[in-house]
Structure 1
Amino acid sequence: MKKILIVAATAGLMSLAACNGGTTNTTAENVADSHEANAAIYDDAADNTTNAAAADVLENAADVEENAADAADANAH
């Protein structure tokens, strides 16, 4: 009976070790997705404004969000 338990425990531990292929930081991925969504909103707002100065500010804000998304995405891996 002890041999069966030892074999089963060993098989269980080996299967757990085989599954450890690396983890992904899903929080960082979610943050990156959020920044990308914000960038898209800023881009859309810049496209829909008739004020050139406001469009520049919104495009700059979109660039900032895209940079933040890139940084978060780099942290996810």
Structure 2
Amino acid sequence: MKKFIALAAVAALGLGLSACDSAQENAAEDAGEQQAEVVNDQAEAMEDAGQITDDQADAMTEAAENKADAMEEAAEDDTTAVN
């Protein structure tokens, strides 16, 4: 549950900043967030099934969120270089 709340907070923050973003950056951010949510769901299912620990699930979710952030930053850098 705490992972879901963290993802929701990240999504809400992203929505607040999206007015300043380019379409390319928004697309990258959306794709990254969707991928992070899929990984989070998979990690929670694995944890519920006893396949991994809570710490391992948290690490999987954090890695996916970091990848999503990197995708957004890369898109932002690309659009900044063009402008």
What TM-score, normalized by structure 1, do the two folds share?
A: 0.46
Structure showing greater radius of gyration is 1
